[in-house]
């Protein structure tokens, strides 16, 4: 134990001289959490959907077309901009990106809606600017179709002598109130928020980023002959790596606490949602331990494989970015296509993120995160054992 404490002291002294590296480990994830939590706030939660602007050209000019536009004005996700031109002018404004969509109400819309025998085709054309969101376009089309259906039903009821039907009753006939949504009880019993995706995602990424300082310090010790002196003292490889494990494990725990505090206190002060930490401290502790072990073991493997700091920065940084992109860190898993969602299983960062989300979103306990924690610890054992073997094979001068 005396040797181990001496090695930990050596690593802490070396780290204390590298304030820039430590700053990156703590400042980078903090900035990412703040940016992504605020930027993605409207992408989570049904009550905070983003707004899309549209222009409307009413070429019909009837009460039915006016009622359609009035109904669309009630939609929370879309905002009508002032427009008083013709169709070429509408297309020009869309091409300049002044609005996402343009609605052209065709002549004869009112007559087609009121006529129960008419087949309502081509009554509304929706034009989308080239960069418009495809999901928003689909939702707008569904909204327009629903509003047209409501107008047509009203016309049919009027024809049947029920023109004085109250709006609430009309909505019931349209089944607008027959469908409701709610989230199952989870951590806090509320809908998911962007901060619950951002905090665990960038925490996992930052914990794996210890690959840069670990490999840099390892290469410095090799260049300065420190590793050679330790080897002549009979220090086994496993003890050398365990000596590097302790200080960086402590750094990972500090990262976890700091990122949690950022999510709980700082993000809501800047206008975002507050992080809900779940209901099991044991599950959080287990996941943090498992992610830390996996990150440090992987960093040690990179450290013994490379020969220069440039190689360490390139290989370590690039592999972390690939793990992050593949593992749902940079792009949430739920927006990926199905085949990409299956590929996330190849990234250890995805295992860590899935485990944290079980705690944050679903109120999971330590038992529920055992698959993710077990996979990470298995990865740590494999990477650590391989690092020891490579170190013994290459020696300290390679």
Record the tokens describing residue 104, joined without a space: 């052209």
pLDDT, one tens digit per residue, over 348-392 is 999 999 999 888 877 788 999 999 999 999 999 999 999 888 888
Cα–Cα dist 107/129, whole Å: 23
CA distances 94 to 76, 90, 91, 106, Å, are 21, 6, 5, 18
CA distance 322 to 264: 28
pTM value surpassing 0.75: no
Q: What is the pLDDT of residues 335-350, one digit of tens each?
A: 777 788 888 889 999 9
* Residue 340: φ, ψ to 5°: -70, -35
Is residue 182 included in any domain, yes or no? Answer: no
DSSP code, position 269: H
- Residues counted in the chain: 398
Asked if residue 230 and residue 93 are part of one domain, the reply reads no
In terms of domains, do 236 and 370 share one?
yes
- Asked if residue 80 and residue 229 are part of one domain, the reply reads no
The answer to whether residues 101 and 70 belong to one domain is yes
Whole-number pLDDT of residue 192: 61
Q: Please count the CA atoms within 13 angstroms of the CA of 117 that sit on its side-chain side.
A: 0
Residue 184 placed within a domain: no
Q: Which residues contact 116 (CB under 8 A, 6 or more apart)?
A: 155, 156, 159
The boundaries of the domain holding residue 106 are 49-173
The Cα–Cα gap between 123 and 139 comes to 17
- 136 and 36, same domain (yes or no): no
For the cut 50, the answer to whether the pLDDT of residue 189 exceeds it is: no
Query: Based on the domain organization, do 23 and 131 belong to the same domain?
Result: no
178 is a domain residue: no
List residues bridging with 105 in a β-sheet: 58, 124
The number of folded domains in the chain is: 2
Helix (H) or strand (E) holding 124: strand 124-128
Q: HSE (CB half, 13 Å, CA atoms) of 149? A: 11
Cβ contact 26:54 at 8 Å: no
Note whether 210 and 358 are same-domain residues.
Answer: yes
Q: What is the mean pLDDT of residues 238-252?
A: 82
Residues 262 and 199 sit within 8 Å (Cβ to Cβ): yes
Query: Residue 42 above 70 pLDDT?
Result: no
Q: pLDDT (tens digit, 9 = 90+) per residue, 281-315?
A: 999 999 999 999 999 999 999 988 888 888 888 88
pLDDT reading at 49 higher than 70: no
């Amino acid at each position: 134990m005396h040797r181990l404490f001496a090695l930990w002291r050596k690593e802490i002294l070396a780290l204390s001289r590298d304030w820039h590296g430590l700053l990156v480990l703590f400042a980078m994830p903090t900035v990412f959490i703040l940016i992504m939590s605020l930027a993605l706030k409207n992408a989570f939660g049904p009550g905070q959907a983003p707004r899309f602007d549209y222009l409307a050209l009413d070429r019909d000019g009837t009460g039915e077309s006016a009622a359609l536009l009035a109904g669309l004005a009630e939609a929370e996700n879309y905002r009508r901009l002032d427009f008083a031109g013709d169709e070429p002018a509408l297309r020009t404004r869309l091409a300049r990106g002044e609005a996402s969509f343009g609605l052209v109400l065709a002549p004869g819309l009112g007559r087609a809606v009121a006529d129960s025998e008419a087949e309502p085709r081509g009554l509304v054309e929706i034009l989308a600017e080239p960069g418009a969101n495809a999901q928003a376009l689909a939702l707008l089309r569904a909204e327009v179709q629903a509003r047209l259906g409501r107008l047509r039903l009203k016309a049919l009821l009027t024809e049947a002598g029920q023109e004085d039907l109250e709006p609430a009753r009309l909505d019931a006939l349209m089944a607008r109130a027959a469908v409701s949504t709610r989230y199952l009880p989870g951590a806090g019993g509320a809908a998911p928020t962007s901060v619950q995706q951002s905090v665990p995602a960038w925490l996992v990424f930052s914990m794996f980023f210890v690959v840069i300082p670990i490999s840099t310090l390892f290469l410095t010790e090799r260049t300065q002959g420190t590793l050679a002196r330790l080897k002549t003292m009979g220090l086994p490889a496993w003890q050398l790596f365990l000596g590097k494990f302790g200080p960086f494990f402590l750094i990972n725990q500090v990262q976890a606490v700091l990122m949690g505090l950022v999510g709980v206190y700082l993000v809501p002060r800047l206008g975002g949602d507050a992080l809900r930490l779940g209901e099991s401290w044991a599950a959080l502790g287990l996941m943090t331990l498992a992610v830390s072990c996996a990150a440090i073991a992987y960093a040690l493997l990179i450290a013994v494989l490379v020969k220069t700091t440039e190689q360490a920065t390139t290989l370590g940084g690039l592999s972390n970015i690939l793990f992050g992109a593949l593992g749902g860190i940079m792009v949430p898993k739920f927006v990926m296509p199905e085949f990409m969602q299956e590929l996330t299983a190849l990234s250890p960062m995805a295992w860590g993120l899935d485990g944290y989300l079980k705690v944050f979103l679903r109120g999971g306990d330590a038992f529920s995160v055992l698959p993710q924690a077990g996979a990470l610890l298995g990865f740590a054992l494999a990477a650590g054992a391989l690092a020891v073997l490579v170190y013994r094979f290459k020696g300290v001068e390679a």
